Amino acid sequence: MVYLDAAATTPVRREVLEALWPHLTGRFGNPSSVHALGHDAAGALEEARRGVAAVLGGRPAEVTFTSGGTEGDNTAVKGLALARREAVGATRVLVSAVEHDAVLASAHWLGRFGFTVTALEVDGEGRVDPARVAAELAADGDAVALVSLQLANNEVGTVQPVAEVAALTRAAGVPLHTDAVQAAGWLPLDVGALGVDALTLSGHKVGAPKGTGALWVRRGVRFEPLLHGGGQERGRRSGTENVAGAVAFAVALRLAEAERAAAAADGVDPVAAQREDFVAAVLAGAGPLLPGLRLTGHPRMRLPGHASFVLGGVSGEAVLLELEQRGVLSSSGSACHAGSDEPSHVLTAMGVEREAAQTALRFTWSRSTTPAELADAATAVVAAVRALLP
């Protein structure tokens, strides 16, 4: 089996399993308890927080552990916007048109409470033009409560100009949130270099269990918590903390970042070269069969282990089934939309026709995927397409 759906989820790393197991068994204390088991749990939680902060280049106190990307995005978008409205009366939210649904749905939820939402258009490669953000801020920056721009897109892999946009929002005094769920392990996450005010991460994209993740919010940025109760996580997320999950996430993130840094030591991530070979093989092999076949997303400014296409002449779902019969597991786009008849909002925002958007395929892999496996997968794509044509 060749697994090319890493953007949907990844297996739990062995090192992560070994790190979390003690906190599910003998070290099971509640970190709010005052006895020895509680102190032990609290210490492990804070050590995990320091580990995440070290990867981000932030302060441990700025890290809040969450149940994953969806919670992190909801908390950031709603919490930052509500706090800024309370402080200065701002009621506009700017989000890119290709954000994950967790961001888009959160922004539109705010619309029920007096906020207005502006979807920032993208070009045909899925990128936001910083000049568009600048124009929105120049027109009425005082009314903007929040800008949210993902670091990298989950469906087409396009990397956004987050640092450029951050310079604009910082000058306007507007908080900027970035969904970095897909970028972890592939792109630098230094919050100082990015210039963002909040950043969302998810554990199961980097080898931690599902239901783990973190939200980083810069110190001093106003933030309204969405969960209330016992005041855990410095009052930002009430509820007994998932110590084992936090430990697991911190270990997985550290390992993923170490792999990224080592791969980038020579200046070019070798996985990007594998991606180029895979894309070339698919286009060369299936292109003559499908005149409408094309790569989606930016050809260069994209995640290294990410290749996405629209086929243009055959159902993407049908090709997926054929590929599975040939031992290749991939997807047609966001795992959150699996089984939906609606075309991808990401592709339609990029100008892809509705019919073509329904022929999408996405291949995403990990650093353990070999060039031979990718070559086999490219061959399987061509065979699957040929099997479905009249």
Report which secondary-structure segment, H or E, holds 176.
strand 176-179
Domain limits, the chain: 2-9+267-388, 14-261
Q: pLDDT (tens digit, 9 = 90+) per residue, 128-146? A: 999 999 999 999 889 999 9
Q: In the chain, what are the helix, strand and coil shares in percent, each to the nearest 5?
A: 45, 15, 40
| pTM for the whole structure | 0.95
CATH of 14-261, one of 3.50.50.60, 1.10.10.10, 3.30.420.40, 3.40.640.10: 3.40.640.10
Does 336 qualify as catalytic in the annotation?
A: yes
The distance from CA 338 to its chain's CA centroid, rounded to whole angstroms, is 17
Q: In what order do the strands lie in the sheet with 294-295?
A: 294-295, 306-310, 360-364
Whether the per-residue pLDDT at 336 is higher than 60: the answer is: no
- How would you list the strands of the sheet with 176-179, edge to edge? 63-66, 213-217, 198-202, 176-179, 144-148, 92-96, 116-120
Q: What is the mean pLDDT of the chain?
A: 96
Three-state SS at 162: helix
Average pLDDT over residues 122-131: 98
- Is the pLDDT at 228 greater than 80? The verdict is yes
State what percent of residues in the chain have pLDDT above 90: 95
What percentage of the chain reaches a pLDDT higher than 70? 98
Class of domain 2-9+267-388: alpha beta
d(CA 287, CA 294): 8
Catalytic residue among 171, 280, 335, 336: 336
Biggest CA–CA distance in the chain, Å, is 71
> How far from chain centre, in Å, is Cα 127?
15
User: Residues 161, 193: contact at Cβ < 8 Å?
Assistant: no
At residue 116, what is the residue type? T
pLDDT value at 115 more than 80: yes
- 245 and 20 Cβ atoms separated by less than 8 Å: yes
Residue 260 half-sphere exposure toward CB, CA atoms < 13 A: 19
Smallest Cα–Cα separation from 158: which of 190, 131, 189, 123?
Answer: 123
Question: Mean pLDDT throughout 295-313?
Answer: 96
Lowest-pLDDT range of 176-190, 266-280, 315-329, 331-345: 331-345
Alpha helices in 150-218 (DSSP H): 162-172, 191-194
Helix (H, G, I), strand (E, B) or coil at 273: helix
Helix (H) or strand (E) holding 36: helix 36-56
